[in-house]
Structure 1
Amino acid sequence: MDNAGSTTEKQKKNLTGAYPKIAKQTKLLNTLVIFAFIYTMYLAKSLLIPLFFSAFIALLLSPLVAIARKVFVPRTISAGALIVLLIAPFTLLTVELAEPAERWMHSLPKIAAEISEEIEEISSSIDAYTTPPAAEPVEEEPSIFNWFGDDDSPKLPVAQPDTSNSVTDKIKQSGIDMGITLFSNAPFLLAQVMACVVLIFFLLVFGPNLFHVFIRDFPVVTDKRRALVLVDQIQRELSAYIVTISIINTCLGLATAGAFYYLNIEDALLWGALVALMNFVPYLGGIASSMVLLVVGVVQFGLTSSAFLPAGVFLFLNIIESQLITPAVLGRSMQLNPLIIIIWIAITGWLWGVVGVLLAVPILMCVKIILENLGVFDHWIRLLESK
């Protein structure tokens, strides 16, 4: 009996000592899985970016296709018509803005050189006031070591590095490199856009049937009703968010373009469209737009107080939009913590570039909606909504 009792106690001790090892191995395995997932998302970005973007657009347009289906309009016709209606305004706007955008791209190195020359003139004038006068040369007293030296030998001048145009050359080279990068990536970007259009069409036509078959027949979906409710809520809330933000940003772009046109700022429509597009990136988009408009003001008005006019007008409109209009329209349920948004934008931008920055907030909204419907990780939901 004593031997049996001692054996049981030894087994308990062995199991107790094994629990910390199992816990450490589980944590290590979870960490490796997270890093593998991040690496996969980064490595497969050329495949995942069109998929995610097309899925979001199809999710927004699918209710309209369903409404058309109820009035006996085939999915193929309604999906094609919606894609045409979606592409046509952007195509017209692109054609309208192509000429001023191309002109600015060609003049970008020259503008950068002019701005750098102005900055160099200001810095040289400041140096003229702050640099102390050069000390007078002191005659060298004769020394016993110079008696046998050749004092009449010519002194070779020391070459001074010419840094007067270094900043200008670097800025010019940066502009040229940026132009080369844009032109070299244009075919790949065009191919991705065409792939997205085709994928959106097929998702709208064949996606709903595939989804219902997956929910009904696949055993991996245990709670079928809950899955349908979850997808429906994601569709409704995400559609409301994106449509609302799109309307607000369009109004902001039109207001900016109208104000710039009234103030005789060149290419007002181009800057209005740029502001509307960049405002889809919360907080960081407004900062980037202000910096671009500051350069625009310097180019048109020079280094004067009027150079702050375009950026100042935009900041005034942006403050009204971000602090009054957007919170009032979206409400509390759509609000997310600004710090978490910026960190998440930085992560998605590092993973997927510009498209990742644009998709950052919709993806975060989907994660929040899924967590709310599954009833898990309540502390994460409160963290996302904290102010």
Structure 2
Amino acid sequence: MTGLFVLALFYTMYFLRPVLLPVVLGLMLSYLFRPVVRAMAKMGVNPHVGAAILLVSLVALIGYGVSYLATPAAGWLEKAPYGLQQMQRKLLPLKKPMEKMAAASGEIEKLTAPEASGVASPVVEVRQNRMSDVLYGRTPEFFISTVLLLILLYFLLAYDAVFLGKVIKLMPTLKDKKRAVSIAHEIAAHVSKYLLTITLINIGLGIAVGSVVGFMGLSNPIMWGTMVALLNFVPYLGALTGIICMTIGAVLSFDNLGYAMAFPAVYLFIATIEGNFITPYVMGRSLTLNPVIILLSLTFWGWMWGIAGIILAVPILAAFKIFCAHIEEMEPIAEFLS
């Protein structure tokens, strides 16, 4: 029965992802921005007004950022066909040894291949989803999910105290009510601290990498810094993707292949310092996560919800660990995830 329940739960989570994705993302963003709304409330701003101001500012900032970065991003895409020809020419010295290896591999396959049986081999066609399909599905679903996210985020921020009060009323005894308030406040504080710290670290990493590559001569350093900051929300895979993108961009921008390789090397160096020294020092042991569990979480949520699942995998895991750490019966799970 337990196995059937787990399978049914996974199927439901996959089937309802257009609804669950904005809900989970809204919860995470509410933890991130809740301190801002509370700070505004201490200054005399009504939470409803504060939440509205925050959301309008957030949408305006994202809109400005997209419009500002759209032009350089489109420029890179326009010169991509010509750039691929340049890359082939620059990588030609490395191509010849690879061709020899491929030819040798082909000869080995001929020697070890079974005799032809006259039966045609089946053709396997791999269909790749478009990015929009992986993230949310069709465009209407993306639009609906975005609107739902904004509405949900507003109510979570504006009615924070109301929701907590409703939960407290469900507790049967005064002791349970006090325990629920304590746990809720501690979990909210730690999750907010985690998300805010990670966000600031990623912004710092983006500024550092963007500044260095801009000083070295790579065009559009703000675009590269933004890319680095956003990709760093996905541990390991994000940095790997960023290094590949920067390698391509540097090879397209500079004739000297050796100098072009210095850009991904600098990115890798700064990201290594951040991942192995800065983040563990700032976060502390209580908020660090097991790397193996992180990879498993990325795999699971990526399979479940696509790119959006990969982005949310670590925040979900961190929130679950913090929740377990504040429930006495679940403390061993929190220790295992550390």
TM-score, structure 2 normalization: 0.82
Distance 1:311 1:126, change over 3 A: closer
Q: Distance in 2 between matches of 1:295 and 1:81?
A: 40
Q: 1:83 — aligned with what?
A: 55
Q: Deviations over 1:14-53 (max 9, x none)?
A: xxxxxxxxxxxxxxx1111111111111111110010111
Q: Which of 121, 135, 145 pairs up with 1:192?
A: 145
Q: 2:76 — aligned with what?
A: 104
Q: Distance in 1 between matches of 2:239 and 2:134?
A: 24
Q: Deviations over 1:41-72 (max 9, x none)?
A: 11111100101111121233334334433454
Query: Does the residue aligned with 1:376 lie in a helix, a strand or coil?
Result: helix
Query: Does the residue aligned with 2:336 lie in a helix, a strand or coil?
Result: helix
C-alpha deviation, 1:105, in angstroms: 3.0
Decide whether the 8 Å contact of 1:278 with 1:286 is kept in 2.
yes
Decide whether the 8 Å contact of 2:22 with 2:149 is kept in 1.
yes
Letter in 1 for 2:270: L
Q: Distance in 2 between matches of 1:67 and 1:128?
A: 65
Q: Distance in 2 between matches of 1:128 and 1:36?
A: 51
Q: Distance in 2 between matches of 1:291 and 1:217?
A: 52
How many aligned positions are there?
A: 315
1:60 aligns with 2:32: yes
Q: Distance in 1 between matches of 2:102 and 2:14?
A: 50
Higher relative contact order (CA 8 A, sep 6+): 2
Distance 1:374 1:270, change over 3 A: same
Letter in 2 for 1:93: G
From the CA coordinates, give the structure whose radius of gyration is larger: 1
Decide whether the 8 Å contact of 2:243 with 2:268 is kept in 1.
yes
C-alpha deviation, 1:215, in angstroms: 2.1
1:294 aligns with 2:266: no
Letter in 2 for 1:37: L
Q: 1:341 — aligned with what?
A: 294
Q: Distance in 2 between matches of 1:335 and 1:259?
A: 28
Q: Which of 355, 374, 382 pairs up with 2:308?
A: 355
Q: Deviations over 1:236-275 (max 9, x none)?
A: 1111111111111111111111111111112221111000
Higher deviation after alignment, 217-226 or 316-325: 217-226
Q: 1:383 — aligned with what?
A: 336
Decide whether the 8 Å contact of 1:105 with 1:179 is kept in 2.
no
Q: 1:169 — aligned with what?
A: none
Within a 5 Å distance, the mapping from 1:253-268 to structure 2 comes to 253-268=206-221
Gaps of 5+ in 2: 105-127
Decide whether the 8 Å contact of 1:296 with 1:310 is kept in 2.
no
Within a 5 Å distance, the mapping from 1:148-163 to structure 2 comes to none
Query: Does the residue aligned with 1:223 lie in a helix, a strand or coil?
Result: helix
Q: 1:149 — aligned with what?
A: none
Letter in 2 for 1:314: Y
Q: Which of 23, 27, 34 pairs up with 2:6?
A: 34
Q: 1:236 — aligned with what?
A: 189
Query: Does the residue aligned with 2:233 lie in a helix, a strand or coil?
Result: coil
Letter in 2 for 1:264: G
C-alpha deviation, 1:317, in angstroms: 1.0
Q: Distance in 2 between matches of 1:31 and 1:301?
A: 56
Q: Which runs of 4+ in 1 moved over 6 A?
A: 128-132, 177-182
Q: Which of 49, 58, 63 pairs up with 2:21?
A: 49
Distance 1:83 1:221, change over 3 A: farther
Query: Does the residue aligned with 2:55 lie in a helix, a strand or coil?
Result: helix
Query: Does the residue aligned with 1:336 lie in a helix, a strand or coil?
Result: coil
Q: Distance in 2 between matches of 1:207 and 1:381?
A: 26
Amino-acid identity (%): 30
Letter in 2 for 1:246: T
Q: Distance in 2 between matches of 1:130 and 1:353?
A: 33
Q: Distance in 2 between matches of 1:78 and 1:89?
A: 16
Decide whether the 8 Å contact of 2:18 with 2:141 is kept in 1.
no
Q: Distance in 2 between matches of 1:94 and 1:34?
A: 40
Q: Which of 302, 310, 326 pairs up with 2:263?
A: 310
- CA RMSD of superposed structures (Å): 3.2
Letter in 2 for 1:354: I
C-alpha deviation, 1:94, in angstroms: 1.4
Distance 1:180 1:373, change over 3 A: closer
TM-score, structure 1 normalization: 0.72
Within a 5 Å distance, the mapping from 1:206-225 to structure 2 comes to 206-217=159-170, 223-225=176-178
C-alpha deviation, 1:303, in angstroms: 7.3
